[in-house]
């Protein structure tokens, strides 16, 4: 098993063939996502619904709320918070 640092630091694998949209059109590049990695999780329907309601109540995007949650986790475990995460938190306030 690879060590955790190697897993975190290695670049995302590039697909062999171009990714396609639902209409079989090639996906366009997303420069706004350059250098970013996806964080995803599966939750039951009630949790998802409650989360989306919370986002609406706060007038915040899913991205902003997940950024806030990650920031809180870093604080809980006494880990350094990245500058980009701090910028996202400032933008949400």
Which domain range does residue 84 map to?
Answer: 61-93
Tokens describing residue 25: 């059109």
On whether residue 2 sits in a domain, the answer given is no
On whether residue 46 sits in a domain, the answer given is no
On whether residue 81 sits in a domain, the answer given is yes
On whether residue 86 sits in a domain, the answer given is yes
On whether residue 38 sits in a domain, the answer given is no
Centre a 10 Å sphere on the Cβ of residue 89 and count the other Cβ atoms it contains: 16
Q: Look-up: residue for tokens 């970013």?
A: 36
What pLDDT score was predicted for residue 15? 60
Contact 68, 61 (CB under 8 A): no
Beta bridge partners of 20: 26
On whether residue 15 sits in a domain, the answer given is no
pLDDT tens across 10-56, in order? 777 666 677 788 888 888 888 988 888 889 999 999 999 999 999 99
Q: How many domains does the chain have?
A: 1
Residue 61 has pLDDT above 90, yes or no: yes
Contact 78, 67 (CB under 8 A): no
On whether residue 71 sits in a domain, the answer given is yes
pLDDT tens across 16-28, in order? 677 788 888 888 8
Residue 84 has pLDDT above 80, yes or no: no
* φ, ψ for residue 20, nearest 5 deg: -115, 150
On whether residue 36 sits in a domain, the answer given is no
């Amino acid at each position: 098993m690879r060590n955790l640092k190697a897993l975190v630091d290695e670049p995302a694998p590039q697909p062999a063939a171009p990714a396609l949209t639902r209409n079989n059109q090639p996906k366009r590049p997303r420069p706004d996502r350059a250098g970013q990695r996806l964080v995803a999780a599966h939750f039951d329907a009630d949790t998802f619904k409650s989360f989306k309601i919370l986002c609406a109540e706060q007038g915040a995007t899913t991205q902003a709320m997940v950024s806030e949650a990650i920031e809180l986790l870093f604080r809980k475990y006494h880990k350094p918070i990245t500058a980009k995460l701090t910028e996202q938190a400032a933008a949400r306030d």
